Copies of this chain bind each other. A is one copy, B any other.
């Protein structure tokens, strides 16, 4: 068993960095978790629907953290035109995120049908932009659709999109099911999927009554978790901070916060299923290869982890003296990790 582990700093291809006080807390913690490149979700309030808004947000993030490469995305909506796609590409925007309407946090302006977006997808395919899919369909009692099968029932739409746009690179985000993993594997090199840290660990039992493990898509059966634990795919944490009072309440927000401890979580979890040797591919290489992106010069660096037993902090504070102070409860708060970042420069 190795006592130290050296890796390049990791890439997180699905991260929520929020705005204002939460952003100020989260962004400096990206590097703390051993990550030097991240692909930033556009579901702000209001969502990022234009190149201009994406570049303004990117500048805010870079000002807070000059040592991380921020790759930007747009929020798929009817405002988005093929012209805007070409403009976005020219300005370094990487992809477009599609949210099904109402399925998760800030997705009220998400899509209802993909066909209206076909001209946009055509332009994306031409210029080489990535389509990121939140792969769930809305629950529907009459048709037996609920949070436990919403992803599996979505896969037919993924297949159709890939069939209609075979050269468009599509990422099924935060895959949670064996069915999804198998479908993605069957669709060839232009379709990939991200796997979160928490879905490598949780099953449905873990969010039954446990609001801090509740996210969308929800964690599913043990056999699904097992399928995700073959990390041919790549890391997209979907780390999504919410103030604790919006989690510990009658109707909890969906999201799990993992950003400050990305590599310690992953090393601990990968070791638990004897896959530590796969961590580098999963967290550092596969994603950049799929996206065909390079990090900005000098940002990728070596991370050294050491085998050490320590505890996840109980909370992270945000806000300053003038604003109301809140806390965010991280994934596995108070629980034991077996790997720690020793050097990160």
Interface residues of A in 220-257 (CB under 8 A from B): 221-223, 225, 248-254
Of all chain B residues, the one with the shortest Cβ separation from A207 is B208
Of all chain B residues, the one with the shortest Cβ separation from A225 is B141
Q: How many angstroms from the CA of A253 to the CA of B329 in the assembled complex?
A: 19
- B250, A212: Cβ atoms closer than 8 Å: yes
Per assembly, the copies of the chain total: 2
- A250, B144: Cβ atoms closer than 8 Å: no
- A249, B248: Cβ atoms closer than 8 Å: yes
Of all chain B residues, the one with the shortest Cβ separation from A333 is B250
Instruction: Name which of A34-42, A65-73, A145-153, A259-267 contacts chain B.
Output: A145-153
Q: What B residues does A203 contact at CB under 8 A?
A: 139, 141, 146
Out of B221, B222, B252, B329, which one reaches A210, CB within 8 Å?
B252
**A179 in the interface (beta carbon within 8 A):** no
Out of B146, B209, B221, B222, which one reaches A204, CB within 8 Å?
B146
Majority DSSP secondary structure for residues of A touching B: loop
Out of B141, B211, B222, B329, which one reaches A209, CB within 8 Å?
B211
Q: What B residues does A210 contact at CB under 8 A?
A: 250-252
**A214 in the interface (beta carbon within 8 A):** yes
**A218 in the interface (beta carbon within 8 A):** yes
Out of B139, B144, B207, B218, which one reaches A223, CB within 8 Å?
B144
Q: How many angstroms from the CA of A133 to the CA of B333 in the assembled complex?
A: 35
- A146, B222: Cβ atoms closer than 8 Å: yes
Q: How many angstroms from the CA of A169 to the CA of B295 in the assembled complex?
A: 69
**A205 in the interface (beta carbon within 8 A):** yes
Out of B139, B146, B208, which one reaches A147, CB within 8 Å?
B208
- B148, A209: Cβ atoms closer than 8 Å: no
- A214, B208: Cβ atoms closer than 8 Å: yes
Q: What B residues does A148 contact at CB under 8 A?
A: 148, 204, 221
Of all chain B residues, the one with the shortest Cβ separation from A150 is B205
- A329, B218: Cβ atoms closer than 8 Å: no
- A251, B209: Cβ atoms closer than 8 Å: yes
Chain A residues proximal to chain B, CB less than 8 Å? 139, 141-149, 203-205, 207-212, 214, 218, 221-223, 225, 248-254, 329, 333
Closest 8 CB pairs of A and B: A209-B252, A209-B214, A141-B222, A144-B222, A144-B223, A147-B205, A146-B204, A146-B205
Q: A146-B203, A147-B205 are in contact. List 20 more A-B contacts (CB 8 A).
A: A139-B205, A141-B203, A141-B225, A143-B222, A144-B221, A146-B204, A146-B205, A147-B208, A148-B148, A149-B221, A207-B208, A208-B254, A209-B214, A209-B253, A211-B211, A211-B250, A211-B252, A212-B250, A248-B248, A248-B249
